[in-house]
A and B are shown apart, each in its own frame.
Chain A
């Protein structure tokens, strides 16, 4: 079971690029890395998922080094509305939901 570690909180300013790193030292061969975003009193929302190297979509990029023991969620030019909790999850297509661990996530606060 791959355990993840993220910073508890981060502050940034509007217009800056934000990088949130997640550590998952015992990630398994078949595991994928998934990031969710959660606003207060709302359910989490899927942001991005990747297996290796780099994945980019319209809202974020995900960088995964060759050893896959960590991953970095990159949010370009953040705005105040990006203030939220960000969760990193690790799991495989055949993995059980018993392994679902959202943890405490990273509280990102974007300042004006």
Chain B
């Protein structure tokens, strides 16, 4: 158990819909990262928040947005969903803000299926 929690575990929805994925980081961690992992694209970094502020952006679509709240939990919002958005979405957390160096602790993931 990494200490990072994600809800829901599974999500099934239809094209065009909007969903929200939730992540609670490990106690004491200030950074939250979001990743997308689909079968044909590997693990793709989407976005990082550090202590409530956006720190780095990766390959995140404009239809996707995220935020980190004062209690440090984070939400990833996916809108106008397409079939290709079906994937595993992971959240990770770390103590520091250096994304390429700090050890990241990953949550169990949310499996999103868009029908």
| A residues whose Cβ falls under 8 Å from a Cβ of B | 31-32, 34, 38, 41-46, 49, 87, 89-105
Contacts and interface: CB of A to CB of B under 8 A. Distances in A.
A98 B57 contact: yes
Given A43-B92, A104-B42, A99 B99 contact: yes
Given A92-B98, A92-B101, A97 B107 contact: no
A44 B43 contact: yes
A91 B99 contact: yes
Given A43-B2, A44-B106, A46-B104, A97 B42 contact: no
A96 B100 contact: yes
A97 B33 contact: yes
Given A43-B2, A102-B43, A97 B99 contact: yes
